[in-house]
Amino acid sequence: MIDPEAIKLYSIVNADGSEVILSNLGAGIVSIVVPDRYGRLADVVLGYRNPEDYYGDGPCMGKIPGRYANRIAAGRFSLGGREYSLSINNGPNHLHGGPGDECFANRIWQAEETPEGVRFTLDSPDGDAGYPGALHVEALYSWSEDHKLTLKLTATSDAETIVNLTNHAYFNLKGEAAGDVTSHRLKLFASRYLPTDESLIPAGAPAPVAGTPMDFTLPKEIGTDLKADFPALIYGKGYDNCFVVDDWKEGIVRPVAELTEESSGRRLLVMTDAPGIQVYTGNWLAGCPVSKSGKEYQDYDGVALECQAFPDSPNRPDFPFRSLCPGDTYRNTIIFAFE
């Protein structure tokens, strides 16, 4: 467990009063307060009333999971001729680096306020949660006057290992206490997605979204096909799938998702240099800890847009993924730009 006294919050405020609040628990996003079309401010990310409730929560609310975000089939992968076994914490698979203290999202990170924003760092020893190599991770957040939250994730290791980092914030552009996101319109710059088996492990090659409920190449309300009779949506009880970024090139930051909400006039543009974006429509939010506003969240009250490598990439040589070797640096840049 986490000592509540160890949890510290950090605020970044721009000139018009828009504010981002971050936590050293999981290097997480606790709050993003931005204006609507009339200049009225609202918090547009989901979160909990009690800081200690962020520890060990199922939704991984706003935090950075690791070492490997998303799923690894059967918790096994091979590297350098050796097989590694990880905890099984999601059906038959390994998810987000493991349960409890194994997951980076449930650890206290070191924090330093910088001219750019806040830098969080975490050191993970060799063999931590079953992963090889001593890993050093940094997460640098910055908040601009034009409402862009930039997250730069980097990692280095003293031995070959695997790493996949992202942020797991849930967005509701009406406001975190304003109900479900089914009327939000989502556009993805992705014409393919990864079909999965029933345990949400990729099965086969990327498939075209055209002609399926997975097609967000034109803006579409999230709720339009949410309950469609389609394998991906049945397996996940909604969207919980990785979409393949169109025209992806390593190291190039590009738009990957656009989320809009008509009543508030808010728009969120997500940009990244990651090859995939996992869209998760909060299908299992009911029953999570009490929210910042004191209400009980329900399923589909937020949507997570997780920029990352493809799930189970260490076991899929056909996926765009490389292990991290000594002397190299893992990088993932994510920008949440609000308008």
Residues annotated as catalytic (active site), given as ranges: 168, 306
Q: DSSP letter string over 270-321?
A: EEESSSEEEEE--TT-TTSPPBTTSPPP-TTS-EEEEEESPTTGGG-TTSS-
Q: Which amino acid is at 71?
A: R
d(CA 95, CA 66): 9
Q: What are the two backbone dihedrals, phi and then psi, of residue 235, each rounded to the nearest 5 degrees?
A: -60, -40
d(CA 269, CA 292): 24
> What six digits make up the tokens of 9?
């919050």
DSSP H or E segment with residue 233: helix 231-236
User: CB–CB of 47/292 below 8 Å?
Assistant: yes
User: CB–CB of 275/316 below 8 Å?
Assistant: no
d(CA 44, CA 32): 6
